[in-house]
A and B are shown apart, each in its own frame.
Chain A
Amino acid sequence: MRLWPLATGSAMTAGLWFLAALNALPITNWPTLPWHATNMTIEQILLAFGLVPRAAVALLVGALLGLAGALMQAVLRNPLADPTTLGTAAGAQLAIVMATVFVPGLLAGGNLLVGLGGAAVATLLVMTIGAQRNYAPVTITITGMLVGMLASAVAMAVTLSQGHYLLTLVLWNGGALTQNDFVPALRLFLCLLAALVGAALLARPLAVMSLGAEGARGLGLKVAGLRLVTLCLAVLLSAFVSAEVGLVGFVGLAAPAIARSLGARTILQRLIIASVSGALLLSLTDNILLLVAALGGPSLPTGALTGLIGGPLLIWLLPRMQATVPQTAEDGRHTQPRSDNPVRLLSIITLLTGVTFVICLFTGRGPEGWNIVPSALRDTFLPIRATVLVAAASAGALLAISGAVLQRLTANPMAAPEVLGVTGGSALGYAATVFLVTEPSGLALALGTAAGGTLALVSLSIFVLRRDMAPARILLAGLAIGALASAVLMAIMASSSPQAWSILGWLAGSTSSVTSGGATILATLALALLLVPLIAARWLEMLPLGTETVSALGLPVRRVQFLLIMTAGLATGAATTFVGPVSFVGLMAPHLARSAGLVRPRSFLLASWMLGALLMVLAAFGARTATYPYELPIGLFATLIGVPWLFILLLRKGQA
């Protein structure tokens, strides 16, 4: 085991902290022990009760997260497990945001209990789904990241809807380590001590567990019990961190990886070294940020910055992940329904969409409750509503066609623009346009967004094509890109520049800004981008058979993949400009089409397109009427429709 990197890290972080402290106050003026605030200057107080506890908190939080990650990785035998990838941290975050906004009384006794509840529920959900697949690493990680994504999306939407809480929540979400006394540091220290004792007690059973569940059972280990106890401990640690400092991403993922690469072999070594490296990692990050701020740079929340290392780290770890579970156990397929009469089914769906569109156009909510637009007001109301509905339908159709193409392309029913990081990339494209172009036009925004989405897809496919990886891992790589994008956005928002506000408003999707011209462009694009895959239907029929088979059939695989990826990226980018980055329509619509039994490519594509339009029209209607007279962001509403759907899907997939 090599320990010198840890020693170097310690020296570096200590040095950085000293530089920051010296910059705040020359060493001759440093307060002498014992500290009494009454006879100290302001600068001395800031140093003694701000910088010093902050250094301690960074170390302690890092150690707790490193330990939590190492515990999760050991018990799940999954090198990608950590509080961020399993949704634990996001669950705690959501619970605390919800409590802050709706039942602040709950937080009277501190954030811990509420955060613990959220973390436990999220983890339980992920584990319930994972248990049906025998805790297969890939399944668990995908489920966990989806749960985390949903929780963050909902938390974001709730945050947005509550302007007056915004600043504290955004800061807290970003994991700011700022301190003003020693109490949190002391609490964290006690927690770490208890956790280390617990981890030491678990070391031997965890070592047995490293033989795999079957082997461990053979040696008489109660596997379910060990899973429960270990995960409870890890969840507790994660919730503790969430409650004290907010969301600090991916330290738990990085620390055990560092421990492994340093040559920590036994479980006990890994647990301890992971704690130490976690502490150093977070402390280094925090001290760099401290120094940047001291030198006049922006003051960024530390948690947002650790998120930045998370995405690349996940991608780096992916190929190293052992495929411990065979593909058949991973996908748990069950026979798909298959419709005998797709034409009739398609007609029904089309009719349904048309009728829904008309109903949503004419009905609405007024001061006296539900009504149909009176004829006197038709000329004023209908064009506005029609514009929004046409734009919504087109955006839904675009997302759905993108999802349908991606699902056929990767032969993976969980693929969708939201999952593959396309919407994340689009969001970055939007943000970049907002920052780079002064007063950008709608077209510039749309182009920037589409470029971002395509870029995300292209980088994903370069990565995937080079290694020819299993579909499930493509999903993970996509989720990693998404995580990276949201970390960047978080950092941008925390900088609270004027541009950040425009991005913030757009993130949840807004229908109010759409013009009739914009709606026309979206509708044209939706029709045009339906044609491309329809023409390429035969390709889409073949591609799920895998690159080997289709290239043996003479298909120019790379070119076809590239063309389809561009189509999906363009469609997602255009739609994302309108609805914001999260909606899950691209996942839902193709799924509905498939479970209706439309599996041949043409009918599948047409039905997905139509259903995407239908779902988004419903979302637009809901966003307009649910909280009349206030309008909800359309993306939020679509997400709320999508959340239950996603879980039903994951649960059902597991039953086979």
Chain B
Amino acid sequence: MTLFALSGVSYNVPGRQLIDGLDLELEPGVVTALVGRNGSGKSTLLRLLAGQAYPSAGSIAYHGRALTDWRRQELARDLAYLPQVTPPAEGMQLGELVALGRYPWRGALGRLRSEDRQAIASAVARCGVSHLTERLVDTLSGGERQRGWIAMMLAQGARTLLLDEPISALDVAHQVEVLGLVHDMCRETGLSAVIVLHDVNMAARYCDRVVALGGGKLLLNGPISHLMTPDALMQVYGLPMTVALQDGDVFALPRNQRICKETP
């Protein structure tokens, strides 16, 4: 069963086509990296997958059912989306934020039951923020806050996580922390994740598959190893890059242009 199946999906804003006739299938149970240059349509695609926007043409099926057929609340129990910039949660404690993840289950009026509390507690524990539940969200460090938001997504009970550049504002230690968490969750509990990433090395380390976009079109859809070749990187980023392997870790760096010219 495919996670997402897109057929002929386009998305237009006045004067511009952000996504151009995309046909694509995403696999469940893995971490998929969504890469591409700025303006290639990555975030737009993620918003379309999350049902935050609807395609101008074509259709998207989630778990075999057209996204438009999912009820909002039903979708929220199954699929969680983290926007690129998390909004400030003024005066809200982390525990309260995570508890909001139970909204799709309890609605505006329902009281939280013991299974809700359990879901919240295990989400908080899974993300390693149990000791922070009494802290105000706005006083947390970037990495703690991001993990808190992911805990909210887990409390939703979602099987699919869509994350838009979740590590762009974090230092490398926090990046590892957040991506490692997502990766382990997919490995251990069978969740699926689609992550928009700019850092190819982080993608290579923590993602299983890759979807690369360029100008709203699909450039690549395959195992992450397919991205980590000079040819693929040249195609995606338009930049000559060196790919190297050391101690089992593959990594890519932009080639030093000046040296290239001097030593042909």
Q: Which residues of A contact B (CB under 8 A)?
A: 331, 333, 335-336, 338, 411, 535-536, 538-539, 541-542, 544-546, 548-549, 551-556, 594, 599-600
List 6 A-B residue pairs with CB atoms under 8 Å apart, sorted by A's residue number. A333-B90, A336-B90, A336-B91, A549-B83, A555-B72, A600-B91
Task: Identify 19 new A-B residue pairs, CB closer than 8 A, beyond the known A536-B108, A545-B89, A553-B100.
Answer: A333-B88, A338-B136, A411-B90, A535-B108, A535-B109, A538-B108, A538-B109, A542-B100, A548-B81, A549-B83, A549-B87, A551-B72, A552-B80, A553-B103, A554-B74, A554-B76, A554-B104, A555-B72, A599-B92
Determine which of A535, A552, A594 lies in contact with B91 in the assembled complex, contact meaning CB atoms within 8 Å. A594
Q: Which residues of B contact A (CB under 8 A)?
A: 50, 52, 72-77, 80-81, 83, 86-92, 96, 100-101, 103-104, 107-109, 136, 138-139, 156
**Whole-angstrom distance between the alpha carbons of A539 and B75 in the complex?**
18
Q: B81 touching A552 by the CB < 8 A rule?
A: yes
B103 CB, min distance to chain A CBs, angstroms = 5
Query: What number of A-B contacts does a CB cutoff of 8 Å give?
Result: 74
**Whole-angstrom distance between the alpha carbons of A355 and B52 in the complex?**
50
A462 CB, min distance to chain B CBs, angstroms = 18
Q: A553 touching B101 by the CB < 8 A rule?
A: yes
Asked whether A544 and B90 contact (CB < 8 A) given A535-B109, A553-B100, A553-B103, the answer is: yes
Q: Which residues from B are CB-within-8-Å of A535? A: 108-109
Q: Which residues from B are CB-within-8-Å of A542? A: 100, 103
Chain B residue at minimal CB-CB distance from A599: B91
Asked whether A541 and B77 contact (CB < 8 A) given A546-B83, A551-B52, A555-B72, the answer is: no
**Whole-angstrom distance between the alpha carbons of A338 and B136 in the complex?**
9
Chain A residue at minimal CB-CB distance from B91: A599
Q: Which residues from B are CB-within-8-Å of A599? A: 90-92
Asked whether A554 and B75 contact (CB < 8 A) given A538-B103, A541-B96, A548-B83, the answer is: yes
Q: B139 touching A335 by the CB < 8 A rule?
A: yes
Q: B96 touching A546 by the CB < 8 A rule?
A: no
Q: B52 touching A552 by the CB < 8 A rule?
A: yes
* List of 10 A-B pairs having minimum Cβ-Cβ separation, nearest first: A554-B76, A599-B91, A554-B73, A554-B104, A552-B81, A546-B87, A336-B91, A548-B83, A553-B103, A545-B87
A393 CB, min distance to chain B CBs, angstroms = 27
Q: B50 touching A552 by the CB < 8 A rule?
A: yes
**Whole-angstrom distance between the alpha carbons of A541 and B74 in the complex?**
21
Chain B residue at minimal CB-CB distance from A542: B100
B95 CB, min distance to chain A CBs, angstroms = 12
Q: B52 touching A548 by the CB < 8 A rule?
A: yes
Q: Which residues from B are CB-within-8-Å of A549? A: 83, 86-87
Q: B91 touching A338 by the CB < 8 A rule?
A: yes
**Whole-angstrom distance between the alpha carbons of A335 and B52 in the complex?**
30
Q: Which residues from A are CB-within-8-Å of B89? A: 544-545
Q: Which residues from A are CB-within-8-Å of B103? A: 538, 542, 553-555
A474 CB, min distance to chain B CBs, angstroms = 15
Q: Which residues from B are CB-within-8-Å of A553? A: 76, 100-101, 103-104, 156
